[in-house]
Every structure is written in C-alpha cells, then in structure tokens.
C-alpha cells in the first residue's frame, strides 16, 4: 500500500502513546484518521493537538472489548470518512507480575483487551474491507514480549505471542488479496501504558489490594532508568507508516533486540531432531496447506536506517 494519501485509517488506543504517534504520521501523510479510545479526556487532549492543523481527524470513544460498540464505531467512521483502508489494532494494557500470583481477574482483563480487542476489530472491519475491495492494510501491535518471553510479564507475553500468531496466520490467509498484514513489535517507547492500565480496568475485574511479591515471595526489584532514552511516539508512528507502505510482515522499532531474537531462533533450531525428514509426513503437512516453511517469511525485506522525515 505505497500510496496512502486520501485513504482512511482507524486506530485503536489512538488518543495517546504509540496510537497518537501513528495518528500524527498518518495525518501528515495526507490520510484521514479516526482515533478510537476508551478515555474521553485523552480523546479531547489528542484533538487539541490537532486543533491547529487542517488534518482530517475524527475521535470516537470505543471500549475495544465492547462488540456492539465496534459496530457503532465502524458505522460512524464510514459515515464520516468512507471506506476504512488502514486498521491499526493498537489498544492494549500492560499487565505485569508473576503468573504464580495472578488471578482470574488479571487473566480476564489481559485477554479481553489485548487479544479480544484485536479479534473484535478484525471481525468488525475485515469483512468490510473485503467487501469494498480497495487496497488495505491491517497492523496489530504485539511487543518485543511477543517474540521473546519476559520474566514477571507472563500474562502480557501470552497475549502478545497470540497477536504474533494471529497476524502471521492472517497474512498467509490474505496472501494474493488487496489486504496486507503486519505485526508490529515495538520496544521501549515514551508512553503512559502503565498508568492507563489501571485507569481503564473495569471495577468487576479489579483485585483486592495485595502486597506485591515476586516469584520467590520477595518484593519485586525496582529498576531505575531514564525514560528520555526511549523512542518518541512520533518516530514510532513513522516507522509503522513505513512498514505499511513497504508491505512488511514484521515491523520492528529497536535494533537493540536483535541478539534476543537470534538467541531464541537459534534455540528453536537446536531443538530440532537431527534426523532425516520423513517425506510421507512432509507430504501430509503440505496437504493441510502448511509448507515446511511459510513463504510469507521470504517477503520480509531488509530494513536499513530510521524513517526519513
């Protein structure tokens, strides 16, 4: 989808953080942009940032776990801007803490937002995109925790790994159609994810206050760092836009995570039995439509340098 000018984007979690960074990058590229968010105050603040521009931006209050709300949001977006061409399923919550002490409420909140928030967007908009038949692109936000496990973030990693598999499968399914698919793996970004997680958690999924403990029963370690070294949301938005234009399956932001990716992939390769392939089994695998390797991976291009202004 190289030409985006005049096209319409729908972004969840679009009123702050990475979603707002995408909204800015898309609008600056000449797109019409719908920013959807559960927080009205955040929507108002985001629209104030666009007030001095002539960008076509429209806010919609949306709880991504509300399926009826999705239908209403889609109808409103299309009534304002017409067909949706880019669907950025970015809304998410950061659930931290060891799985040993996580509750059903923690799991439910995590899954409802981080997984079903993406599922609800796909079920709502993918048929609409297929019906209008124009060139489109779907990008869902995973995480560096979606390709490499992070201790004390098991719930979050579970959801983000799910998004990875969902987008890779969708890209395979839609290969050869006008709809491209990307999985977005951001590293540390200057966002307020931790603060908004508590803000948007519904009352019926709140836990009783408990002392924080780590897997060893002790209080968790506190890490100190300078958040100013994190990537800005504006740069993140440009990187996502570049990935959409290139048709990349994987959109990465931080080269610093390359050693971790290599270490995990090397471990997977070392786990493979060193023995001849059973050709009869391989032939059966092909019958199910899955090759010994997925050709969509071959289309990922080499990325050289940050996006240019």
Active site residues: 156
Cα 215 to Cα 99: distance, rounded to the nearest angstrom: 8
Half-sphere exposure of residue 292, counting CA atoms within 13 Å on the CB side? 8
- How far are the Cα atoms of 22, 50, 64, 284 from residue 162, in angstroms, in the given order? 22, 34, 17, 26
Tokens read off for 217: 């029963």
The token pair that represents 302 in the structure block: 């080499």
* Kind plus residue range of the DSSP H or E element containing 287: helix 279-287
Residues in the chain: 309
- Give the relative orientation of helices 233-246 and 17-28 as an angle to the nearest 10 degrees: 60
Give DSSP secondary structure letters for 231-285: BPHHHHHHHHHHHHHHT-SEEE--GGGHHHHHHHHHHHHHTS--S---HHHHHHH
């Amino acid at each position: 989808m190289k030409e985006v000018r005049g096209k319409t984007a729908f972004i969840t979690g679009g009123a702050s953080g990475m979603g707002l960074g995408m909204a800015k990058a898309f609008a600056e590229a000449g797109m019409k942009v719908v920013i959807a968010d559960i927080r009205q105050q955040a929507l108002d603040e985001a629209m104030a940032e666009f007030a001095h521009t002539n960008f076509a931006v429209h806010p919609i209050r949306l709880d991504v776990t509300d399926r009826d709300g999705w239908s209403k949001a889609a109808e409103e977006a299309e009534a304002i801007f017409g067909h949706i061409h880019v669907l950025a399923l970015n809304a998410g919550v950061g659930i931290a803490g060891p799985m040993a002490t996580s509750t059903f409420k923690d799991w439910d909140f995590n899954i409802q937002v981080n997984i079903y928030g993406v599922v609800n967007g796909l079920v709502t908009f993918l048929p609409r995109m297929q019906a209008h038949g124009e060139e489109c692109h779907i990008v869902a936000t995973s995480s560096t925790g979606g390709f490499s496990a992070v201790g004390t973030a098991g719930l979050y990693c579970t959801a983000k790994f799910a998004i990875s598999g969902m987008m890779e499968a969708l890209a395979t399914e839609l290969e050869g159609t006008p709809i491209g698919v990307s999985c977005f793996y951001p590293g540390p970004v200057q966002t307020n994810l931790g603060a908004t997680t508590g803000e948007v958690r519904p009352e019926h999924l709140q836990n009783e206050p408990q002392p924080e403990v780590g897997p060893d029963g002790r209080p968790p370690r506190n890490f100190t760092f300078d958040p100013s070294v994190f990537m800005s949301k504006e740069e993140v938005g440009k990187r996502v836009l570049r990935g959409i234009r290139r048709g990349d399956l994987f959109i990465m932001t931080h080269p610093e995570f390359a050693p971790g990716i290599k270490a995990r992939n090397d471990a997977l390769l070392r786990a493979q039995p060193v023995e001849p392939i059973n050709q009869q089994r391989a032939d059966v695998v092909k019958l199910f439509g899955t090759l010994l390797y997925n050709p969509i991976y071959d289309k990922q291009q080499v990325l050289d340098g940050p996006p240019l202004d």
